[in-house]
Amino acid sequence: MRICSTNIEDAVLREAGLQPVKEPKDADAALIRVDAPYEHRDTYMLENAFRAGSLDFDEAFIFSVRSLSESVPVILIVHLDRPAVLTALEPHVSALVGVYGTSDEALMKALTNEIPPQGRLPFTIPRSSESIRDSAPDAGGDFHSLYPLGHGLRLESSAYWDAEVRHQA
């Protein structure tokens, strides 16, 4: 399988049995690996040690994913060190993967099913920032979610691209 990725090393893709290509037009799929959005802050003591601010991806990133998805299936891999609003991206990706500090090597082993991938969300993924602002401040997860706390899946096939996906609530 030919994979286009700007942020996963070619050697890691090759080790996983995939063929890295530079151009999306030459690829069977594109892998995009990003961090959950945040705003750098350092006004107060220790503030720069924690990611804070908006949970929304910026419009330029959403546009780039949407444009890429018009030419090749996109697998979006989001490092969820905090929740992220994924609603605008979800319709444009073929797969959405949440990771929590996973190395590229371990990620590729999971995507190619060398290691059986499975997991559950440790927090709710909000549908929008507005839904968070409109929720009761003392009722975590009270808002209308895109994916609820504990949402997860397990792949049952020999490889991601051929997988039957079973969602588990």
Structure confidence by residue, pLDDT tens digits, 84-121: 999 999 999 999 999 998 999 999 999 888 888 888 88
pLDDT at position 143: 64
Going by pLDDT thresholds of 50, 70 and 90, the confidence category of residue 17 is: very high
SS3 at position 113: coil
Handedness of CA 112, 117, 122, 128 (dihedral sign): positive
Does residue 159 sit within a domain? no
Q: Which residues contact 66 (CB under 8 A, 6 or more apart)?
A: 92
Q: Give the model's confidence band at 159: pLDDT under 50 very low, under 70 low, under 90 confident, else very high.
A: very low
Number of structural domains found in the chain: 1
Q: Answer whether residue 65 is part of any domain.
A: yes
Q: Which domain holds residue 39?
A: 2-119
Q: pLDDT tens for residues 111-146?
A: 888 888 888 888 889 999 888 777 766 666 556 789
Residues 9, 1: contact at Cβ < 8 Å?
A: no
**What local confidence, expressed as pLDDT, does residue 156 receive?**
61
Query: Looking at residue 71, which CATH number applies to its domain?
Result: 3.40.50.1700
pTM for the whole structure: 0.83
Over the chain, what is the mean pLDDT?
85
Does any domain span residue 145? no
Q: How many angstroms separate the CA atoms of 36 and 34, rounded?
A: 7
Predicted local confidence at residue 135, as pLDDT? 74
Q: Is the CB of residue 127 less than 8 Å from the CB of residue 85?
A: yes
Q: Which residue has the higher pLDDT, 34 or 148?
A: 34
